[in-house]
Structure 1
Amino acid sequence: MSRSRALLAATAAAASVCALALVPTSASATVSGDVVVNEVYGGGGNSGATLTNDFIELHNNGSTAVDLSTWSVQYISAAPGATTTWQVTALTGSIAPGGSYLVQEAAGTAGTQALPTPDATGAINMSGTNGTVALVNSQTALTCKTAADCAADTTVHDLVGYGTAVVHEGTADAPAASNTTSVSRDANSTDTDQNGTDFSAGTPSPVNSGSASASPSASASASASASASASASASPTATAGTVRIHDIQGTTWISPLNGQTVSNVPGIVTGVRASGSTKGFWIQDPNPDSNPATSEGVFVYTGSAPTVAVGDSVLVSAKVSDYYTLASGTTTANTSNLSVTELSAPTVITLSTGNALPAAIVLGPDTVPSTYAPDLGGGNIESTPITPTRSALDYYESIEGMRVEVDDARVVGPSDSYGEQYVTTKPTEKVTYRGGTELTAENATPSGRLEVVADNGTNPEVSVGDTFTGATIGTIDYSTYGGYLIAATSLGTVKSGGIAPVAAKAGSAKDLSIATYNVENLAPQNADSKFAALAQGVVTNLAKPDIIALEEIQDNTGATDDGTVAADQTIAKLTTAIVAAGGPQYSYRSIDPVNDQDGGQPGGNIRVVYLFNADRVSFVDTGAASVNRSTTGTQVYKLHGEPALTLSPGRVDPSSYAWTSSRKPLVGEFSFKGKPVFVIANHFDAKLGDQNADGRYQYPQQTSALQRTAQAQILHDFVQQILAIDKKSDVVVLGDLNDYQFSPSLTQLRTGTGDGTGKSILTDLISTLPVNEQYTYDYEGISEVLDHILVTSGVSKPVYQVVHVNSEFANQTSDHDPQEVQFKP
């Protein structure tokens, strides 16, 4: 996988506004406004105990759910010595606002009563009287052993030392516990970072996330809600407050009322999300103001299945919050996503049911501005006023939470496993020859492209070129991965666009055929069906190329990080499947990477590999077998007046900083009908870490481009060395270069200068196709180029084809499309 989404896909997440937000970290010396250690009991199973297990209970004092999937609770003895270490229990899932979370620890031999069903389970045997428990926003064991050091550790979110513990918060420990008593906070879970006053000893009272009494504040909220509902029934004269939705949304990206509590905000329920991690509903004011910059809709986050229905007229009292939808591993501080204004911890009064809904805004070809995002020199768009005519981002922010409609919407990005797909509101905008929408320049995201997700979880499994005929209607939301979307309450009827997988035209027997294919983390543990589909693609769609450069071949144990680097089993399983599909018995050449040094999925040790049909082409093996080719680079030298390699197969400058945590190029010399052909297979650094093109910083920083440009320079210089010996040499540079045909890195590769002023020594074959065919990948509804085949001028009359078999389809074998070149050396 090549884009940032590839890594994130490992974390199942709804592509909708994510009130399940991670919260910025805090040191133990800072009062925790959200999750705290609420109760600690270390006497479980001890003599005289009723409970069989030790436990740690957490409580969320905040108004938003907190993702705990990368967090832990940790324990250290009261007086740690030089060899004492923290014991760690990893957490999973999340903790709801006002909710509790129970961590079960070690059991003793006594006790008669099991804990409530725990939310996480560990095996820490805590002291019943004295010790320290920390809540940590990582799963790495702490190293601090003094109160001062732990207070300075920014991964410590909360901490309680009880009894005579050396490590504690504040001036004193919490009281000592016993086999029959725990230490716990007061009924409001107050945290002042003074363990001595925040905690008291008492009867253990473990509460898990599913308990009705999970939280005093949650119970109070539920009671208030019930009371409000009762009052609505008894008092039909309940009246709206003074604040309206457009006051909450305001003319700024962050609500002018952010953090404040609002009362009896009126609205009509326009959509309900009763499943997933972000349960809630949308309301819209049927009486809008006259300002086009202020939205009339807003999401109400409930955290549980809402009891309202579409068409209800309601009054909502809640806290106004601007949330940043966060993917795994990000926090509010480091995400480049835009914020979403929501109402949280609501109480709801239903005034009436069955009301007409506000009319949906029809998104036609001219509704959304033609500019997707403004150029702010990298500045934060959230610091500027919302200007609906300036850009698509501005426009969608101005109608955030409101009902919209797209008629006869053509699909430009296929359905994924989460039921996410992309359509265009501009049917004639940069159309590809198969119905997608194309990226044709840097920072030129097509402004008509818009994500659609059915709010009931339906996956329509559409492909590029299909159409949702009729009306697709829903509310404007923002994706976990960034970008505005329609949370659709209804989808149009699917009409197939009829695209079929492309089959390459086979070359003549006199031509050499070379292909490149990113096979997406291929490992022996993958289903046999994936190997069969890849094999069928090689045989049928690529017409049995003579040479194939494969990217993302994993080692024999796949993502298991056990030190294995060999990939012979992965390769054998694929070549066997190719034979079974009617293809040739391919031979291969590869160089195993140094363990965990080439990036990609942790433990997978992805690398590039050559397959070749030895009946058609031979591989020129050079260099001593004893050389460590993983770390020793091949060199170009003159042999009998012709260029040759000291190592074939070899790697190009593998020790350079440019290849840090990235795949090293694999170069090999082949011989076809007695003529040498140099092939350099690549998988450049991915776009991980770049700012979101759909986010707040515009234009976004592409920090990964620096490494790709350095990689491109090394390859350019290597090709130049071959051409310096024979300017007519046949050199093919190919693979997943993770960048566009117009990018600085591809310019650097072709010319040796990022501005293109140097002489081009390579032709990027994707640029020889008609503009509407220049793509190899579909990323979030944008047809773009990541995979390339470049050739030197010695390659005469190349026939080049992109073979679309994956990226445009709902059911994919890989996320990349292969491509092929045929020529006569």
Structure 2
Amino acid sequence: MRVKSRALAILVAAGVVAGSIAVLSSPSAAAAPGTVVISQVYGGGGNSGAPLTNDYVELFNRSGAPVSLDGWSVQYTSAGGTGNFASNKADLSGTLAPGQYHLVQLAAGSTPSGALPKPDSVGSINLSGTAGKVALVHSSDGLACNGSSAPCSDAQVALLADLVGYGSANYFEGSPAPALTNATGAFRKSGGCADTDDNGADFETAAPAPRNSATAPAPCGGGDPSPSPTGSPTPTPSGTPTPSPTPTVTPTENCDTAPTHRISQVQGSGEASPVEGQAVRVEGVVTGSFQGSGQFGGFYMQAPTPDADPATSEGLFVFSSSPVKTGDRVLVSGKAIEYNGLTEISPSTAVNVCGTGAIKPTEVKLPLEKGVSLERYEGMLVTFDGDLAVSEIYNLGRYGEITLSKGTRLWQPTDRKGVDTEKDARRTILLDDGSNVQNPPTLPYHTGGSDTVRIGDEVKDLTGVLTYGFGGYRVQPTEQVAFKAENPRPAQPAKVGGDVRVASLNTLNWFTTLKSRGATTVVERDRQLAKLVANITTLDPAVAGLMEVERNNDVALNSLVDALNAKAGAGTYKAITHPNPGTDLIQTALIYQPAKVTPIGPARSSSDPIFNRPPLVQTFGKAEGAGETFTVLVNHFKSKGCSDSDGTASGADADQGDGQSCYNAKRVKQAKAVLALIDSLKLTNALVLGDINAYGEEDPIHTFEDAGLTSLSKKYVKKADRYSYVFGGLSGELDHVLTDRSAGKLVTGATIWHVNADEGRFMDYNTEFNPPYLYQPDPFRSSDHDPLLVGLKL
């Protein structure tokens, strides 16, 4: 059962006050020994010779009580620069048991190598591989100081739970920790327990060996290690010890030794076991053994007869290496604990197999009734009645996870009216694969007739053990899981009619420069190009607006055109040179088929500083000269991310809590600037297209619609198919084509070709981690956004 975070908040607050860091006259800081401390720092991830792809910071609870990290953050600034901690921040959540580690995965370098164990938190901070300053902050607000050129005030220092300055850092505790390399990280001594208020004395360097919440706890005052099933793989890099189940002690108990508790008494009806920390003996039937290589080091057991309280679970996880199999009737002795949100017996001191039995799965209907939690089924064998739709496969290739939802897929609440987020939470469950293996060579699940699973496919009557880990309930299957293709791949886009077709495509960072935003190797670049060519030639647009093309004097753009012409025939496509490509590494772009359309007048753009990726404007007419003309405005608005090279979103651009995320105010200004551009250029038959980074019912789209533009997807695409992007398990449309009134009269149809958003990232051009057998030089997963296609009758 989950531990109440509110009850722990008082302890955490008290610990921070006692361990707050005070600034001295020199650029150093001192602290009383902290509760949660930074135990490892590594900044060489993905650099030349690095053993790991990602930077990371590891945290450790050196106290004797659980500590909640909710509302905390890890922050970073350079060793001696003028930037503040606020510019580089990763938010934290969860609770650390005494002696438990917490792994924060940070930015990846350009040279892939080894993968981290499964992180407990993820951020995008790019640490220096040699010298820097890392702060553990008892706040999710960024600190507007750096300890040197911008000194930290007493109030800011009071928020520091820990500080590590390494290498040539000018802010630290006592003295700086040693400088690092691509092959070394900084380790807090004594497994994380050392804290003398001197970074130089407390830290040493060694090959990076990250530990996460699934690593065996190492309490500073001693205690029982208690690994539990994580529900997701947590491998450890080569050379780092991997926790193994505590060998079962030769039992003094036998099958005649009576139980002391029912399983339901160990679970209790609340959020924490009423007998936590006590020795117990329980009886039940094994419902699932996960003791094999790469699994959880234990098994689940369940009472064959439930008690009278529906709020108490009848299932339990046992951490034990004593061999058992499904159907064994067992009596188990050991300590009842709460570990990483899961009630379990760990370590077990006796496992007696005393016969056989059978457990019928408990039927669970989604959505759950209001006020009912899956906690009452934790550790039990369950069946989810009826069909569940696939809503997210982002981690299918990495951790074997699939998000499922009763009924339809899950929708972004700002994309359409009528989305009930509270009900969506009650109709959702995570399917895991019963394994801790990361990046397996083959996918653990696939849809019948396919090598993969697409979002929208369905599984019927899912059966397995319900468990808890990494902040959510999940099902570990106990029988084969069969998906049916309710969303088969569309080989061609739907017909849109007309005599001229216009497309909008996000190219997913098409770069000819390696090791930048796109491909890291020539092989990857060729694989990416093959997929883009397959996508565009199948769409066969007369005009295509492109996003995320490298801004490098049209080298990337012309390379794409050359590849298209190599497949479609010499001269089939030409590119339009952008007169003002902007300041970002990527730009908007246009290609067209001269046999079908002719550019009229020069390409134009906007000089409004609201854009760092200015729109590209071009008027076209039919190649033979007859008929109407039309003007395309290709856009890529500011993303929803809250921090980037421009700094951290603030003021009106900060997240307002309305579901539109950061920089919504800027996107509205960009929409108004596009409308002003249409007016200033006196454009008619205008098509505003591109990655607007706003969903269908968000302010930027309403700004366009209030000015008289019409969303073609809302008009022509049925609601269930109106999406182009999936994020966080929620589908919605970030990519749009909108027309003015006169252009709307030329439109014969519009569609969204679902070749990307429903496909897993393991299908794309990348070679690291992706199983080789899944790659095909076809349109599928040529990007993470679906292309839009419009028909015009000129």
TM-score for both structures, normalised by structure 2? 0.60
1:802 alignment partner in structure 2: 752
- The one-character-per-residue Cα deviations of 1:766-819 (angstroms, maximum 9, x if unpaired) are 343333332333456654323221111101141212222223345422222211
Q: Deviations over 1:402-438 (max 9, x none)?
A: 3222467454347442333344444xx5899xxxxx9
Write the mapping of 1:375-454 to structure 2, written as runs, cut at 5 A.
Answer: 389-390=369-370, 394-406=372-384, 409=387, 411-413=389-391, 415=393, 416-418=396-398, 419-426=400-407, 429=408, 441-444=418-421, 446=424, 448-454=427-433
Q: Supply the distance in 1 between the matched residues of 2:294 and 2:163 (Cα, whole angstroms).
A: 28
Give the equivalent residue in structure 1 for 2:768. none
CA 1:468 to 1:578, structure 2 compared with 1: closer, same or farther past 3 Å? Answer: same
Q: Deviation string for 1:282-332 (max 9, x for gaps)?
A: 5545454434344444566x6x989766555433414425x5xxxxxxxxx
Residues in 2 aligned to 1:207 and 1:64: alpha-carbon distance in whole angstroms:
29
8 A Cα contact 2:389 2:406, kept in partner = no
The reply on whether 1:684 has 2:637 as its aligned counterpart is yes
Alignment correspondent of 1:701: 657
Shift of 1:277: 9.9
Question: Between Structure 1 and Structure 2, how many residues are aligned?
Answer: 604
Structure 1 residues 142 and 298, CA gap change in structure 2 (3 angstroms):
farther
Aligned AA (2:605): G
The reply on whether 1:735 has 2:690 as its aligned counterpart is yes
How far residue 550 of structure 1 moved from its aligned partner, in angstroms, is 1.7
For 1:194 and 1:414, locate their aligned partners in 2 and report how far apart those are by CA, in whole Å.
Answer: 45
Q: Distance in 1 between matches of 2:556 and 2:404?
A: 37
Matching of residues 118-133 of structure 1 within 5 Å? none
Contact 1:592/1:607 (<8 A) preserved: no
Q: Return 239-248 or 411-420, whichever deviates more.
A: 239-248
Letter in 2 for 1:578: L
Determine if the alignment matches structure 1 residue 462 to structure 2 residue 458.
no
Partner SS for 1:748? helix
Equivalent position of 1:667 in the other structure = 617
- SS of the aligned residue for 1:513 comes to strand
1:711 is aligned to 667
Match of 1:33 among 32, 35, 45: 35
Q: Aligned pair in 2 of structure 1 residues 538, 168: CA closer, same or farther (>3 Å)? A: closer
Work out which of the residue numbers 769, 787, 792 in structure 2 matches 1:818: 787
Tell me the residue number matched to 1:518: 506
Question: Which of 745, 750, 756 in structure 1 is aligned with 2:705?
Answer: 750
Closer/same/farther in 2, CA of residues 744 and 443 from structure 1, 3 Å limit: farther
Contact 1:608–1:681 (Cα < 8 Å) also in 2: yes
Describe the SS at the equivalent of 1:359.
Answer: coil
Instruction: Specify whether residues 572 and 237 from structure 1 end up closer, same or farther in structure 2 by C-alpha distance, changes over 3 A only.
Output: farther
The residue identity in structure 1 corresponding to 2:714 is I
Q: Which of 299, 310, 332 in structure 2 is aligned with 1:292?
A: 310
- Alignment partner of 1:784 out of 712, 732, 739: 732
Q: Give me the whole-angstrom Cα distance separating, in 2, the residues matched to 1:716 and 1:72.
A: 35
Runs of at least 5 residues in structure 1 that lack an aligned partner in the other structure: 1-22, 39-56, 84-94, 102-120, 126-132, 174-183, 324-339, 370-387, 433-437, 556-564, 599-604, 623-647, 691-698, 753-759
Distance 1:348 1:407, change over 3 A: farther
Structure 2 residue ranges without an equivalent (≥5): 1-11, 22-30, 41-57, 83-95, 103-126, 138-142, 177-186, 228-243, 438-443, 447-451, 644-654, 764-780
Matched-pair contact (CA < 8 Å) for 1:412–1:449: no
Q: 1:449 to 1:123 in 2, by over 3 A?
A: closer
Q: Which residue of 2 aligns with 1:314?
A: 332
Aligned partner of residue 749 in structure 1, secondary structure:
helix
Residue identity in the other structure for 1:776: S
Whole-angstrom CA distance in 2 between matches of 1:414 and 1:189? 36
Q: Percent identity?
A: 20
* Conserved? CA contact 1:514–1:822, under 8 Å: yes
The structure-2 alpha-carbon separation of the partners of 1:396 and 1:614, relative to structure 1 and needing over 3 Å to count, comes to: farther
- Equivalent residue, structure 1, for 2:462: 472
Please say if 1:769 is aligned against 2:724.
no
Secondary structure at the counterpart of residue 535 of structure 1: helix
- Tell me how far apart the structure 1 counterparts of residues 454 and 171 of structure 2 sit (CA, whole Å): 61
* Cα 1:413–1:671 shift into 2, 3 Å: same
Deviation at 1:194, TM superposition (A): 7.2
Determine the C-alpha separation between the residues in 2 that align with 1:725 and 1:215.
Answer: 68
- Amino acid in the other structure paired with 2:788: Q
Contact 2:217 2:226 in 1 (8 A): no
Q: Against the structure 1 CA distance between its residues 123 and 308, is the aligned structure 2 distance closer, same or farther, given a 3 Å change threshold? A: farther
> Match for residue 587 of structure 1?
575
Q: Which amino acid aligns with 2:505?
A: Y
Deviations 1:154-197 (A, max 9, x none): 56636799xxx99767xx99xxxxxxxxxx9998986686789x
* TM-score of the pair, normalised by structure 1: 0.58
Q: In the alignment, residue 535 of structure 1 is paired with which amino acid?
A: V
* Structure 1 residue 515, shift from structure 2 partner: 0.7
Contact 1:285-1:296 within 8 A present in 2 as well: yes
Q: Distance in 1 between matches of 2:403 and 2:216?
A: 42
Whether the 8 Å CA contact 1:248–1:255 is kept in 2: the answer is: yes
Matches within 5 A, 1:85-484: 98=99, 137=136, 143=147, 152=157, 157=162, 221=224, 229-233=248-252, 240-241=259-260, 244-245=263-264, 248=267, 250-251=269-270, 254-255=271-272, 261-264=277-280, 266=282, 268=284, 270-271=287-288, 272=290, 282-297=300-315, 310=326, 311=328, 313-321=331-339, 323=340, 340-343=341-344, 346-352=347-353, 355-356=356-357, 358-363=359-364, 367-369=365-367, 389-390=369-370, 394-406=372-384, 409=387, 411-413=389-391, 415=393, 416-418=396-398, 419-426=400-407, 429=408, 441-444=418-421, 446=424, 448-456=427-435, 458-460=444-446, 461-464=452-455, 466-468=457-459, 471-477=461-467, 484=473
Greater Rg over alpha carbons, structure: 1
Q: Distance in 2 between matches of 1:221 and 1:344?
A: 12
SS at match of 2:533: helix
Alignment partner of 1:533: what SS? helix
Deviations 1:88-108 (A, max 9, x none): xxxxxxx9975899xxxxxxx
CA deviation after TM superposition for structure 1 residue 821, in Å: 0.8
Cα distance in structure 1, aligned partners of 2:268 and 2:274: 8
8 Å contact from structure 1 (residues 421, 462) kept in 2:
no
Distance (Å, rounded) in 1 between the aligned partners of 2:726 and 2:403: 10
Q: 1:501 to 1:256 in 2, by over 3 A?
A: same
**Does the C-alpha gap of structure 1 residues 348 and 72 become closer, same or farther in structure 2, counting only changes over 3 Å?**
farther
**For residues 209 and 237 of structure 1, what CA distance do their matches in structure 2 show?**
46
Whole-angstrom CA distance in 2 between matches of 1:591 and 1:485: 52
Residue 594 of structure 2 is aligned with which of 608, 614, 617? 614
Whole-angstrom CA distance in 2 between matches of 1:350 and 1:718:
70
Equivalent-residue separation in structure 1 for 2:717 and 2:224 (angstroms): 62
Deviations 1:352-405 (A, max 9, x none): 277546432234xxx223xxxxxxxxxxxxxxxxxx5217xx443443443222
* Amino acid paired to 2:678: I
- Distance in 2, matches of 1:443 and 1:567, equals 47
> Could you say which residue in structure 1 is the equivalent of 2:479?
490
- 1:473 counterpart letter in structure 2: T
Native 8 Å contact 2:416 2:697 kept in 1: no
Spell out the pairing of 1:537-616 with structure 2 (5 A cutoff).
537-540=535-538, 542=539, 544-553=540-549, 555=550, 565-566=551-552, 568-582=554-568, 584-590=572-578, 605-616=585-596
